[in-house]
Amino acid sequence: MQLRDQVNAAIKQAMKDRATNRLCTLRLINAAIKDRDIAARGEGNEDGVGEDEVLAILGKMTKQRQESARAYEEGGRLDLAEQELGEIKVIEEFLPRQLSEDEVQAAIEEAISSTGASSIRDMGKIMAHLKTKYTGQMDFGAAGARVKKRFAA
């Protein structure tokens, strides 16, 4: 079942369960996907976005909410931070399992060897390889820092 279908099924179930907070988050996910579909159609892609793009949308939504929760905690608004963290839990239901630290390092090493990267100049190739294989499974900002550290040594 595609992610899009899973979200729609979850929306229907949340309506039946009268889970308002969950329903709001699921509708936000659906709206973000549809918004990206519209943009893709404007670019000539009549089928809308694929699974990889949906995973990227979900990853971006998670990251935004983590930043918001951190800002709310620093501002003393724990109620709003809790709401953001609740939304993260709902979004993460649709994301694949996150890779552990060791798995991320192994993925980086595999990407370096398969792309033939030899210096920091090849970072674009490495990151492109990681994004095609591990979308939604790792934080690419942190992975980029690891790649830089790997070549600095």
What integer best gives the mean pLDDT of the chain? 89
Shared-domain flag, residues 111 and 71? no
CATH code where residue 124 lies: 1.10.10
Picking from 106, 83, 92, 78, the residue whose alpha carbon sits closest to that of residue 136 is 92
Largest CA distance in the chain: 56
Q: Residue 14: CB partners within 8 Å, gap ≥ 6?
A: 22, 23, 26
Please determine, for residue 143, whether its predicted confidence score (pLDDT) is greater than 90.
no
Q: Are 61 and 91 in contact (CB under 8 A)?
A: yes
Rounded distance, CA 39 to CA 149, Å?
A: 36
What average pLDDT does this structure show over 13-28?
95
Shared-domain flag, residues 23 and 85? yes
Residue 153 is predicted with a pLDDT of: 65
Shared-domain flag, residues 38 and 56? yes
Q: Are 147 and 126 in contact (CB under 8 A)?
A: yes
For 32-80, the pLDDT digits (tens) are: 999 999 998 888 888 888 888 888 899 889 989 999 999 999 999 999 9
pTM of the model: 0.75
What average pLDDT does this structure show over 134-143?
82
Percent of the chain residues past pLDDT 90, beyond the cut: 42
Shared-domain flag, residues 64 and 127? no
